[in-house]
Amino acid sequence: MSGAGLAALLVLAQATSPGALGALAEAVAAQVHTAGAEPPLALAVSAPGRPALERAFATELLGRLTAAGLAPRLLAVPDPERAAREQGARSLLRLRLDLAGTLVASGDVLSTWVNFWAGRAQTRSASPGAAVAAEVSADATVRLLARAGEGLSLELDPEPLARWPVRTLAVATGSLDPDGQPLVAVLTEEAVEVRGRDGRLLARRSLDALPRADPPSRDPFGTLCICQRRLLAFSAGRAAGEVLELSGGALVPREALARPVLGCLSARLEASLFPGLARFVPSSGPWPSLPGEPRAWGGSVRAGAPGPGVLVLLEDGTARWAEGTGGLHALPGVGAGAAAVDLAGDGAVRIAASSSAAAPAVDRLRLLAPDGGAELASVEVPGRILQVAAWSSARGPEEDLLLGVWRTDGGSELRLARRGR
């Protein structure tokens, strides 16, 4: 977005006060005053992945704090507590903005004043600190600012990491050994495979030992997840699945799996299959509350930072994203492949999703805002995207995307997509 466009957004945010931003700033300023903060007050605001929203809210809050006589000064440094002391501030307000249905500001205010006789020791003042938290409903201005200035794009690696003459059923990523190396697991119609970052095959276990389902799923379908360094694999063409462990270059079965498992949070998220159909219904575990009795194509579970979340892909071409206690968000136009991803490595989750087209010769991988499905970026992918998994990148804290893609010749391949440079 151009500087002029961003400036217009900031003006819009200020002109609509007291809108959501103004109301949130007033609530925070009142709490800071109640906490007994002393001037000059240092202010550090972060809104991961949403720079325009961060700047607009900081502008609103600076005005309220100035009116309260706190002589605020804005910091933009990695260590705000140290910077506040170096700049002579007597108090520090640290805030993080999160947008998940509502706009939330959370953080703390503390005294940074150090008595002369304390010398060089980096000890905090004995004055008490206070938690700061406020929440307002997000309005149109907030949502517009949240989408502005992200500058995200997607690019597809030119060559596949791996190819198969059969269909892929599921893809999962994670660590399967004590070294913590990020590996990719793929469930096909024939076997479970584990591969390295370069796509090289590390281990394979055939599905032949498992009894066939009666009736089997009409379409290739299954679930695959990594929980506590174990691989939980379930093909809808088989009557049972397996819990596998990578040991000595082989996938060793450790227990039978009675039903599909989408992932693990406080417990396994288990599902029940519809006989003969590539669908399941959520059963046991910490599933989000979904209306009615939804049939799902699949989904994914995000267990780590920046917070746990569950993504469920429904058969009507929509998805539901539940992150922590932030409520349930509907995402339109989502196909059979999707996952939550931190594409920019900034702590902000987006949803990477295939299109809802029935059988495209060229699919489109889209990056969506998790709070409503606004499209942030996209890239074309030859074939049909059936599986998506987030994979820790070799380039830093950002995450890449692994795609299970069905080709028109009946085979499939593993593709890698990443943030564009």
Residue 288: per-residue pLDDT: 86
Residue 1 CA to residue 9 CA, distance in Å, equals: 10
Residue 409: per-residue pLDDT: 95
What three-state secondary structure class fits 61? helix
Residue 77: per-residue pLDDT: 66
Please name the residues in contact with 267: beta carbons below 8 A apart, sequence gap of 6 or more.
284, 285, 286
Residue 20: per-residue pLDDT: 92
- List beta partners, residue 281: 272
Strands 362-368 and 350-353: antiparallel
What are the boundaries of each domain within the chain?
Answer: 3-147, 154-419
Residue 2: per-residue pLDDT: 40
- Terminus-to-terminus CA distance in the chain, angstroms? 16
Residue 112: per-residue pLDDT: 84
Residue 1: per-residue pLDDT: 40
Pick the CATH number of 154-419 from 2.40.160, 2.10.240, 2.30.30, 2.130.10: 2.130.10
Residue 291 CA to residue 88 CA, distance in Å, equals: 54
What three-state secondary structure class fits 409? coil
What are the residue ranges in the chain where pLDDT is below 50?
Answer: 1-17, 116-119, 122
Residue 316: per-residue pLDDT: 86
What angle (nearest 5°) sits at the alpha carbon of residue 393, between those of residues 391 and 398? 95
DSSP characters over 298-315:
EEEEE-STT--EEEEEET
CB neighbourhood size of 357 (10 A): 15
At the topology level, CATH places domain 3-147 in: Rossmann fold (3.40.50)
Query: In this structure, what DSSP letter does residue 23 have?
Result: H
Query: In this structure, what DSSP letter does residue 117 have?
Result: G
